Amino acid sequence: MIQIKPHWIKSPGWLHAVVPPSVREELLFSMQTRGQDARNTLRGHLQEEYTLPITKEVSRFAQLLAYQYMEQFNLHPSMTGVQANYLASIIPLEKLQQKNPDFELGKLWVNYQSKHDFNPAHIHTGAFSFVIWVKIPYDYRKEQKVYPKVNGNETAAFYFSYNSTLGGQESHHINLDSEWEWSMVFFPAKMYHGVNPFYTSDEKRISISGNVYVVDK
């Protein structure tokens, strides 16, 4: 049974999912062979980011999550009003009105983040994106002690950034530690997100990211 849970925030929501064993196995195998340097297409301030091959189980899982997102957040082409505007911000309506619209994993890469590296707020191409955490080499409670007097200590966190209903800028932080290994977030590709640096470990934080596109089957 695949564990998938929707999380509503004051803007587009996100899914939390646990990566199934078959997908994990394919990803670990793919990581054994280093792909092309992906840094020239990405925003991360990281020294190591490489492309990964798109394999069968990984692709099927990404497609499943796209449909799960549409279902969990009640998105469909016939909706009207504010919900229609929300859907259009994720997927252009003409895409969903194609003869046989479907979702397809189009890009996949691995990130090796070292101490002090970070990923500034950014968006992706496609309809949806995701991040899978493979290895998190620190305890976020120890990370927060590095700057204990900082208001809203978000050291080492992954975050979403979005506009509030009043037009202000808000953020939603996820404090990461080893409990998040082989868990993931799945979200609209145009939703701003980023990763803050960590300080208490000399090991690398490893994550896998991908973009899912609308295609005409």
Instruction: Name the stretches of the chain with pLDDT < 50.
Output: 80
| Three-class secondary structure of residue 173 per DSSP | strand
What are the sequence ranges of the domains in the chain?
Answer: 4-154+182-216
Give Dmax over CA atoms of the chain in angstroms: 56
- Residue 73, pLDDT score: 82
Task: For residue 44, give the nearest of 204, 215, 179, 216 by alpha carbon.
Answer: 204
- Residue 21, pLDDT score: 96
Residue 120 vs residues 32, 49, 193, 195, 216: alpha-carbon distances, Å: 27, 15, 8, 7, 33
- Residue 57, pLDDT score: 96
Asked whether the whole model's pTM tops 0.85, one would answer: yes
For the stretch 21-45, pLDDT in tens is 999 999 999 999 889 978 887 778 8
For the stretch 184-210, pLDDT in tens is 999 999 899 999 999 999 999 999 999
Looking at domain 4-154+182-216, which of 1.10.287, 2.60.120, 2.60.90, 2.30.30 is its CATH number? Answer: 2.60.120
E runs forming strands in the chain? 4-7, 14-18, 48-51, 101-113, 119-122, 128-135, 158-163, 169-174, 183-188, 192-195, 205-216
- Residue 31, pLDDT score: 96
